[in-house]
Structure 1
Amino acid sequence: MAQARGVPESFADLAERISPSVVNITTSTTVAGRTGPQGIVPEGSPFEDFFREFQDRQGPRGDRPRRSSALGSGFVISEDGFIVTNNHVIEGADEILIEFFSGEELPATLVGTDPNTDIALLKVEADAPLDFVNFGDSDTARVGDWVMAMGNPLGQGFSVSAGIVSARNRALSGTYDDYIQTDAAINRGNSGGPLFNMDGDVIGVNTAILSPNGGSIGIGFSMASNVVTRVIDQLQEYGETRRGWLGVRIQDVTDDVAEALGLEEAKGALVSDVPEGPAMEAGMEAGDVIVRFDGKDVEDTRQLVRIVGNTAVGKAVRVVVNRNGETKTLMVTLGRREEAETAVPAAQPVEPEEPMQSELMGLTLSPLSDEIRGELGLPESAKGLAVMDVDETSEAFEKGLRAGDVITEAGQAKILSVSELEDKIEEAREAGRKSILLLVRRAGDPRFVALGLDADE
Structure 2
Amino acid sequence: MSQGTEHYYNNNYQQPNQNAYNYGQNNYYQNGFQNADAEQPKAKVKKAKKQRVKKAKSPKTPHNKRTFWKKGVAVVASAAVFGGVAGGAFYGIAGNQIKKLDALTNTTTEVASTTSAATTQSLSLTSTASVGNGMDVSTIAENVMPSVVAINISAIVEQQGMFGYTQQYEAEGSGSGIIIGENDSELLMVTNNHVVSDATTVNVTFADGESYEAQVKSTDSDTDLAIVVVKLSDIKESTMNQIKIATIGDSDSLKVGEQVVAIGNALGYGQSVTTGIVSAKDRTNSTNTTPLIQTDAAINPGNSGGALLNMKGEVIGINSSKYSDTTVEGMGYAIPITAVQDRLDDLMNRQTREKVDESEKGYLGISCATVSSDVSEAYGIPEGVLVTDVASKSAAEKAGIKANYVITKIDGQSISSAEELTEKLNYYAVGETVPITYEYLKDDAYVEKTVDVTLMENPNANNK
Shorter-chain TM-score range: 0.3 to 0.5
Greater RCO, CA 8 A, separation 6+: 2
TM-score of the two chains, using structure 2 as the length reference? 0.44
Please tell me whether Structure 1 or Structure 2 has the larger radius of gyration of its CA atoms. Answer: 1
* Larger helix share, 1 or 2: 1
TM-score of the two chains, using structure 1 as the length reference? 0.44
